[in-house]
């Protein structure tokens, strides 16, 4: 198995700073998002507008999965992160992306699946 792609940043700490991107569920720390934005969702332009971090990421997420090889992982397919970069992802997020952000996704023709509410 080769590493064909560049992995996303791996979280450097495991406490309260961990946040998950509401669209792709990538998990990183607040600071990491501020530094390099979301690798899977560049259109959010987090680096340019750090305030967005609060809007597009959430600390409320459930379960963590380290995805080493999304292309060949069954789990990745199941979780619909097969197309994303290797890295740490959340199994589920507790918040829905705001309306504005959803329309942004549509404009970019990027898929957004809201979390299932039980």
Contacts with another protein by CB under 8 A lie at: 1-3, 7, 10-11, 14, 16, 30, 54, 58-60, 62-69, 72-76, 78-79, 86-88, 91-95, 115-118
Minimum CB distance to another protein, residue 104 (Å): 20
Angle among Cα 15, 19, 22 to the nearest 5 degrees reads 160
- Shortest Cβ distance from residue 101 to another protein (Å)? 15
The gap from C-alpha 23 to its chain's centroid, in whole angstroms, comes to 6
How far apart CA 54 and CA 35 sit, in angstroms, is 14
Based on CB atoms, which residue is closest to another protein, 92 or 108? 92
Residue closer to another protein by CB (options 88, 105) is 88
* Nearest residue (CB) to another protein, 47 versus 95: 95
Q: Which residues of 31-46 are buried (b: 16+ CB within 10 A; e: fewer)?
A: ebbeeebbbbbebbeb
């Amino acid at each position: 198995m080769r590493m064909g792609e560049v992995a996303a940043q791996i979280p450097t700490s495991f406490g309260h700073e961990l946040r998950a991107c509401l669209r792709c569920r990538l998990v990183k720390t607040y600071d990491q998002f501020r530094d390099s934005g979301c690798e899977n969702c560049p259109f959010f332009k987090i680096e340019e507008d750090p305030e967005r971090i609060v809007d597009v990421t959430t600390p409320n997420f459930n379960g963590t999965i380290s995805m080493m090889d999304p292309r060949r992982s069954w789990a990745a397919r199941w979780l619909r992160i097969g197309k994303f970069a290797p890295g740490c992802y959340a199994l589920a997020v507790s918040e829905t992306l705001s309306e504005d952000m959803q329309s942004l996704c549509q404009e970019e023709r990027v898929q957004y699946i809201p979390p299932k509410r039980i």
